[in-house]
Structure formats: structure tokens, C-alpha cells
Amino acid sequence: MLVHICCSVDSHYFLQKLQEEYPEEKLTGFFYDPNIHPYSEYYLRLLDVKRSCKMLGIDLIEGEYDVENWLEAVRGLEHEPEKGSRCSVCFDRRFEISAKKASELGESTFTSTLLTSPKKSLKQLQTAGDALAKQEGISFVAPDYRKDSGTQEQNILAKEDALYRQDYCGCMFGLNIQRDQQEKLADELFVPISGQIQPESIEARIVMYEKRWELEDQETPLKIIKQRFLNWRLMMGLLRVRKEVVPAHFLPYSTLKGEYTRGKIEYNIGEVHHMNRDEVRFITRKHYNKLAGTDYGTITDLIYNPPTFDKELELRAKLGVTPYDISIILVVEEIPTNKIEILCQSKTYSDVKEVLIEL
């Protein structure tokens, strides 16, 4: 039996139930999910599915990440709600490819772990699965493992085995709708031009879960815990001096009350120069290099290839700011002596992150 897999939280429980119900059946996992965006999230979910299949002794095949074809298939349905027409097209696409893969492998049946997702319509899934299986001359198996407290068991198992628990279906259109309803920032879609890994970003989770896999292979005891913290994202930052754009690097947690301020340098305390409005501070690239132990030759180099986020937080601390200071700190080549204008679109917000602890 070929089992289409959407994520480890759904598949881990679903596969074990299939192993109990079909003990003579060889199960093969098929991870085909071009609906998952961005690619880093796709990679993270695949990584955890590989771990789950390894734990259960199940072979796994990765399908093509043909995102362009998926986007074309759902064109015009971007604003459809969850369980709407876009979801139907998405299921059809994934089931069609899964049915073809099952037929190609000589399997007589296929199924999908989407059936156990509490956010999906079982009837909608079964209708799509039956129709596409028929086209390939095979059958679609649609067990209902949600009943009899199945969803609760699934959640308990996911927690016990420390599975990666995503909080959106994977579709960027669904994500934007969900975050708008929650009045939250869709920071899953934010990747700075510098490539710097941001706190509680998908890229940060990848680093942690890859480390988890490495430690488990070494049989090192570990635990993943959650911490609430103040998160930050910079959407746009711009410095103008006498109306001319000047290269400037915004340190993490740089925030304005609004999005625009202007003024001039009023005084300095050592190497830190203070603007006369909105608590804005400036330091030079030379001073940055001294504090950070770096050797950046230009501000542009720093903008496109900064140190790690944590290293820049350490630098903020070396400037004498408190842990609660979210004022703008700008790194420039020379301290401006003329009129200054700053545009800063950034957001600080309460968030929760996972932290890997070696025991």
C-alpha cells in the first residue's frame, strides 16, 4: 500500500494504525506536497517525516516539489477559505500524483495521512481519493482514525515522540488568511536579504531539528522545551542624509513608534552618537568591527553578510543598552552631520520558540 504523507504529526499515528490494521501489508510512504511554502518549511516537514518513518521502519519516497504546477492549478482560488475550492483542487492534485505513483509501483491500493487531519473534511478527501484511484484502476483506502478519541491519541503520540508540530496547513494562501484572522505577522514568509537566521524562523527550526537528529544518532539525551520571548522582524529600513540615501545597517530589535522620524545628531557618549528624536543612536562601522571582532570593509558588506543574530544581540549589550531597549541603532560609515531621515518598518511581538536542551 502506498501512503501519501503530508506531515509527521498526521502520519506518525496514521501509519501505526495502518500497521495494526494491515499487518501483512508492506507500507511505503510517499511525501508529495508541493503546496507547502516556503521551501524551507517543506524541507523541515520532510526532515521530520524521514525521522518518523525511520522510527517505524517504513520506506519513504520523496515526490517532486513541482510548486509551479501547483500554483497554476490553484490560480484564481487564492482567497478561498480553508476546506473551500482551493483545498479540493489541492487534494485532487496530490491524490492524482499519488495514485499514479502507486500504479507505477504495482500497488493495488493507496491512502493518505490527510485523512487523520482534524482540519480536513473526511468526505471531501474520500471523494477525491476514490475518483482518482478509479482512473488508475486501483482502490483508495479511507479509514477514519479520528473517531474513538483518535485525534487525542494522535496528539499524545506527537508529543511523546517530539514531532515537529507546524501551525498552518502549508499553503501560503491559507497561511495569510489564518494570520490575518489571528492578527499575527506571517513571519514564516520573511527571509531577510542578508540571509541572517531570525529567531523562531523556519530556518532556525531546521538548524535545531537537524541538530536533534545528530544527537539522537549519537544517543545523546535531549529535550525540546518552549520559551516565550519578544520576537522582531525588520520589513524595511532606510537612512537618508540631506535627502540622499546612505548605506546603513539596522541592528536587531531596532524599532520606531511610527515608521518615520527625522532629526540630527545632538550629542555623543563615547562612540555612541544620539539623535535628538525618537531615541535613535548611531555607531560607525569601525566601532562595530571593534566590538564584534569583525573586519567588514564596507557597510554594504555588513548589510548582506552580517554575523549571527545572537552575536549582534551581544553587540547591543556591549553598547550599554538594557535587555529591554528596542531603540534604533544604526551602523554607518561616518556619523552624519546634516539633517537625518529614517524610515523603519519593523515589528516586535510576543512569540514562543522551541529550544533544544542536551540532558
The tens digit of pLDDT for each residue in 66-87 reads: 999 999 999 999 999 888 899 8
pTM: 0.91
Q: Give the whole-angstrom CA distance, residue 95 versus residue 4.
A: 8
Angle of helix 202-217 versus helix 39-56 axis, rounded to 10: 20
**Quick one: pLDDT band at residue 220, thresholds 50, 70, 90?**
very high
Q: What is the mean pLDDT of the chain?
A: 94
pLDDT digits (tens, 9 = 90+) for 240-266: 999 999 999 999 999 999 999 999 999
pLDDT digits (tens, 9 = 90+) for 297-307: 999 999 999 99
Q: What pLDDT does 177 receive? A: 92
Per-residue pLDDT, averaged over 199-217, amounts to 96
- The Cα 18–Cα 256 span in angstroms is 54
> In this structure, are residues 78 and 177 in contact, taking their beta carbons and an 8 Å threshold?
no
**102 in Cβ contact with 130 (< 8 Å):** no
Q: Which domains does the chain have, with CATH numbers?
A: 2-173 (3.40.50.620), 231-348 (no CATH)
Q: How many CB atoms lie within 10 A of CB 173?
A: 20
Let me know: does 198 contact 233? Beta carbons within 8 Å: yes
